[in-house]
Amino acid sequence: MTFDLAVMFAEELGSSLVMTFVSSFVAYVLGLPLGILLVVWAAGGIDPRPRVQETLGVLINLFRSVPFLILLVAILPFTRKIVGTTVGTKAIIVPLTLASAPYVARIVEASLKEVDAGIIEAAKSMGASTWQIIWKVLIPEAKPSLLVNAAIAVTTILGYSAMAGFVGAGGLGAVAINYGYYRNQVGIMWVAVALLVIVVQCIQSLGMWLVKKVDRRQR
């Protein structure tokens, strides 16, 4: 591999990581509260509001059902208003976030539903408020599952970011498309794929390490 190719791979790896982690952070800022509300407002939840919860669930499912590439193209005017452009790393973060937030909401909901109902009932019987139950019982008890699912979410978002090359954004996916697909340089494509696999493995390993640190059942 020449020096120029090595520099290119380093730059595009950086672009992939920026797209992935910024989008993941914003997706969790949006998706975590939504996931909590799906559990809290559910029938039999801490603060049951089943009709509102069902409406929220339908809206989340509608966003989840739109394929990423279609969403990416459909919101180009919105993306331009938010970041001032529809091309490049900044531009891809907007659709990545909007595609990922509903997914994050659902996996947060799944993690929180794993918490033993008896623990929640015990907190209620001691007079804990809804917010106290959420922040001092529900989230701490679900932390291992939340971390496992967070690692899955980040790797999924990394997979979405690989499609960025179709709209002129950077990243390893763009390298694979521009060189491997358009120029038929298969070797460069497989290097990009190998780097993506390594990043995925690193994210998953970090997630499992964090789970072992916070999971009291493994101590």
| Lowest mean pLDDT across 10-14, 114-118, 183-187 | 183-187
Residue type for position 125: S
Q: Is 128 exposed, middle or buried (0-12, 13-18, 19+ CB in 10 A)?
A: middle
- What percentage of the chain exceeds 70 in pLDDT? 95
pLDDT at 104: 95
The mean pLDDT of the chain is 87
Domain of 56, in residue numbers: 3-218
What one-letter code names the amino acid at 102? Answer: P
CATH number at residue 29: 1.10.3720.10
Task: For residue 166, give the DSSP letter.
Answer: G
pLDDT in tens, 127-163: 888 889 999 899 999 999 999 999 999 998 988 887 7
| Listed residue (157, 194, 171) closest to 15, CA to CA | 171
Number of domains in the chain: 1
Angle at 52 between CA 46 and CA 58, to 5 degrees: 115
Question: Residue 91 has which token pair?
Answer: 């531009």
